[in-house]
């Protein structure tokens, strides 16, 4: 295969484990692909610049080596490129704490299977989700994501996890932070509108805006979501007690939680969330700011090898 590939590696992914794992894997990749380049990110935001440049330099593929946050930076960089049509495709090698997008796409972690996936060159087009929100300096921002956004407790969990050293494996890291957050978290007063209709107003634990099915290192929070759909799956975890969340979390790992009376699931195109309280927001596991926020399926698409 002589296609040009740029691997963007986030060595800090999975609490720094990616820096140790990838050198053992890339010797196999380099052996198979002759036009293979790689760059390592040193700080947050660098993958955006690397991806933008790779598209503008007409790379055939960008390979994301890291977690969902690395993928998020790369897709935002690709969409910033000054190109009328993006022909560069995305390859995901999941080495992050959660890597939940790869679960929905059923992507391989075994290096031999991964190489075969790349050689096969089969891709699917996925529409990204556009989010507008306020950063921590109260400046309005727009950013794209592809898997899941969360307003509420899930975003606080992600923020704590991103600040930690993530010594445990992905799902255990999330589980520990969920319990650490749960016992101090107070449900927020939030107004949720979708497709110009009021869906809910009151105390709520989390509002999940889902394009993919999983978050939190394997929790199937949005079993009705479809990455290839033109709809978003809006999941409301309403005024749960602490015990209620713990009991329902077991069901959520298998996607069996939607039958609970305090859970609502909708298929919508546009979502608007407003609040008078401080409510954290995360996109694809990245802690980026606060609500108020709005979300909608974009016309912009990314081709991903599957």
Q: What share of the chain is helix, strand, coil (3-state, %, to 5)?
A: 30, 35, 35
The answer to whether the CB of 6 falls within 8 A of the CB of 62 is: yes
Look at residue 168 in the predicted model and tell me its pLDDT.
56
The answer to whether the CB of 285 falls within 8 A of the CB of 68 is: yes
Q: Residue 256: pLDDT above 60?
A: yes
**Residue 22 shares a structural domain with residue 116:** yes
pLDDT grade for 260, boundaries at 50, 70 and 90: very high
Q: What is the largest CA-CA distance in the chain?
A: 57
**Residue 63 shares a structural domain with residue 132:** no
**Residue 171 shares a structural domain with residue 112:** no
**Residue 195 shares a structural domain with residue 98:** no
Look at residue 97 in the predicted model and tell me its pLDDT.
82
- Model pLDDT for residues 55-75, shown as the tens digit of each residue: 999 999 999 999 999 999 999
When pLDDT is averaged across residues 107-112 and rounded to a whole number, the result is: 94
Look at residue 96 in the predicted model and tell me its pLDDT.
85
Does the residue 304 lie in any domain?
A: no
What is the extent of the structural domain holding 86?
A: 5-121
Q: Which of 222-251 are b and which e, b meaning 16 or more Cβ less than 10 Å from the residue's Cβ?
A: bbbbbbeeeebbbbbbbebeeebbeebbee
Look at residue 83 in the predicted model and tell me its pLDDT.
83
**Residue 160 shares a structural domain with residue 249:** yes
pLDDT grade for 165, boundaries at 50, 70 and 90: low
In the listed set 121, 155, 186, which residue is the last one of a domain according to the structure?
121
In the listed set 56, 89, 121, which residue is the last one of a domain according to the structure?
121
The pair phi, psi for residue 73, each rounded to 5°, is -65, -40
Which among 142, 101, 149, 91 is positioned nearest to 121, based on CA atoms? Answer: 91
Look at residue 171 in the predicted model and tell me its pLDDT.
73
**Residue 116 shares a structural domain with residue 183:** no
CA pair distance 9, 70, nearest whole angstrom: 8
**Residue 250 shares a structural domain with residue 143:** yes
Q: What is the pLDDT of the chain when averaged over all its residues? A: 94
Does the residue 203 lie in any domain?
A: yes
Does the residue 19 lie in any domain?
A: yes
**Residue 37 shares a structural domain with residue 107:** yes
Look at residue 166 in the predicted model and tell me its pLDDT.
61
Neighbour tally for 113: CB within 10 Å: 10
Does the residue 155 lie in any domain?
A: yes
Structural domain count of the chain: 2
CA pair distance 260, 288, nearest whole angstrom: 30
Which among 276, 290, 283 is positioned nearest to 190, based on CA atoms? Answer: 276
Give the predicted TM-score (pTM) of the model.
Answer: 0.94
The SS3 call for residue 236 is: strand
Look at residue 288 in the predicted model and tell me its pLDDT.
95
**Residue 72 shares a structural domain with residue 135:** no
- Model pLDDT for residues 264-281, shown as the tens digit of each residue: 999 999 999 999 999 999
The answer to whether the CB of 187 falls within 8 A of the CB of 204 is: yes
Q: Is 166 buried (19+), middle (13-18) or exposed (0-12) by CB count in 10 A?
A: buried
Q: Is 85 buried (19+), middle (13-18) or exposed (0-12) by CB count in 10 A?
A: exposed
Does the residue 151 lie in any domain?
A: yes
Look at residue 51 in the predicted model and tell me its pLDDT.
98
The pair phi, psi for residue 182, each rounded to 5°, is -55, -40
When pLDDT is averaged across residues 156-161 and rounded to a whole number, the result is: 92
Distances (CA, A) of 185 to 148, 190, 218, 284, 288: 21, 15, 22, 21, 19
Look at residue 235 in the predicted model and tell me its pLDDT.
98
Which among 161, 127, 156 is positioned nearest to 144, based on CA atoms? Answer: 127
**Residue 12 shares a structural domain with residue 52:** yes
Look at residue 173 in the predicted model and tell me its pLDDT.
82
Q: Residue 169: pLDDT above 70?
A: no
Enumerate the β-bridge partners of residue 209.
Answer: 149, 234
CATH number at residue 58: 3.40.50.10330
Q: Which one-letter DSSP state was computed for residue 16?
A: G
When pLDDT is averaged across residues 113-121 and rounded to a whole number, the result is: 96
**Residue 151 shares a structural domain with residue 181:** yes
CATH number at residue 143: 2.60.200.40
Q: Residue 296: pLDDT above 70?
A: yes
**Residue 164 shares a structural domain with residue 214:** yes
When pLDDT is averaged across residues 41-59 and rounded to a whole number, the result is: 96
In the listed set 105, 121, 137, which residue is the last one of a domain according to the structure?
121
């Amino acid at each position: 295969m002589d296609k040009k590939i740029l691997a963007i590696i986030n060595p800090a992914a999975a609490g720094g484990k990616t820096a140790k794992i990838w050198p053992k894997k890339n010797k196999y990749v380099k052996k198979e692909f002759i036009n293979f380049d790689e760059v390592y990110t040193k700080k947050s935001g660098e993958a955006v610049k690397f991806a933008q440049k790779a598209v503008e330099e007409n790379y055939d593929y960008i390979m994301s080596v890291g977690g969902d946050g690395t993928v998020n930076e790369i897709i935002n960089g690709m969409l910033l490129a000054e190109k009328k049509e993006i022909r560069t495709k995305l390859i995901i090698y999941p080495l992050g704490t959660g890597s939940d997008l790869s679960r929905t796409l059923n992507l391989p972690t075994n290096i031999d299977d991964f190489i075969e996936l790349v050689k096969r060159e089969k891709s699917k087009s996925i529409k990204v989700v556009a989010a507008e929100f306020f950063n921590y300096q109260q400046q309005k921002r727009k950013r794209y994501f592809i898997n899941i956004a969360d307003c509420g407790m899930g975003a606080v969990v992600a923020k704590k996890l991103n600040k930690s050293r993530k010594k445990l494996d992905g799902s255990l890291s999330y589980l520990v932070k969920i319990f650490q957050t749960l016992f101090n978290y107070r449900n927020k007063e939030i107004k949720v509108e979708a497709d110009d209709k009021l869906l809910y107003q009151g105390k709520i634990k989390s509002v999940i805006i889902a394009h993919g099915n999983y978050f939190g290192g394997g929790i199937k929070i949005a079993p009705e979501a479809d990455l290839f759909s033109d709809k978003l799956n809006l999941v409301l975890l309403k005024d749960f007690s602490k015990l209620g969340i713990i009991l329902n979390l077991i069901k959520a790992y298998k996607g069996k939680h939607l039958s609970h009376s305090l859970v609502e699931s909708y298929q919508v195109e546009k979502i608007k969330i407003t609040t008078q309280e401080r409510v954290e927001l995360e996109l694809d596991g990245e802690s980026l700011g606060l609500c108020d926020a709005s979300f909608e399926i974009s016309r912009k698409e990314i081709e991903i090898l599957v």
